[in-house]
């Protein structure tokens, strides 16, 4: 009886693991993972904060007071992240191509 159940459980496992619905789930999961990965990479490198070179440049600056350099560094992050990324989003949304179904190049 145990051998028959073992064969049945292996057969059911293989049938359940390799189907159309499972393949579609894998493709969807991979797509979400890649979209998340590229989105995070673009966010990190849009203002160079992810590379780690900006703090070195700000630390070596010759200014009267460190607060001035800190404010300059924050302004750069604000401009590149908020303004540039918002302009990009507005261009995509206002172009009418977001839901057009055209393939991305």
pLDDT in tens, 60-69: 888 888 888 8
- With b for 16 or more beta-carbon neighbours within 10 A and e for fewer, the 22-41 pattern comes to eeeeeeeeeeeeeeeeeeee
Confidence of residue 30 (pLDDT cuts 50, 70, 90): very high
Confidence of residue 81 (pLDDT cuts 50, 70, 90): confident
Confidence of residue 8 (pLDDT cuts 50, 70, 90): confident
- Comparing 15-24, 29-38, 48-57, 89-98, the range with the smallest average pLDDT is 48-57
> Taking residues 26-36, what's their average pLDDT?
90
More confident: 93 or 47: 93
Q: What is the pLDDT of residue 103?
A: 63
Residue located via tokens 């703090």: 55
Structure-block tokens of residue 78: 């604000």
Residue 74: Cβ within 10 Å count: 11
Q: What is the pLDDT of residue 14?
A: 84
Residue 29 CA to chain centroid, in angstroms? 14
Task: Give every CB contact of residue 61 below 8 A, 6+ residues apart in sequence.
Answer: 69, 72
């Amino acid at each position: 009886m145990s051998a028959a159940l073992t064969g049945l459980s292996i057969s059911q496992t293989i049938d359940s693991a390799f189907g159309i619905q499972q393949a579609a789930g894998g493709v969807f999961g991979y797509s979400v993972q890649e979209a998340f990965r590229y989105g995070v990479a673009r966010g990190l490198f849009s203002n160079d904060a992810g590379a780690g070179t900006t703090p070195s440049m700000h630390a070596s600056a010759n200014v009267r007071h460190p607060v001035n350099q800190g404010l300059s560094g924050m302004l750069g992050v604000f401009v590149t992240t908020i303004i540039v990324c918002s302009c990009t989003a507005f261009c995509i949304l206002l172009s009418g191509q977001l839901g057009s179904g055209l393939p991305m190049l």
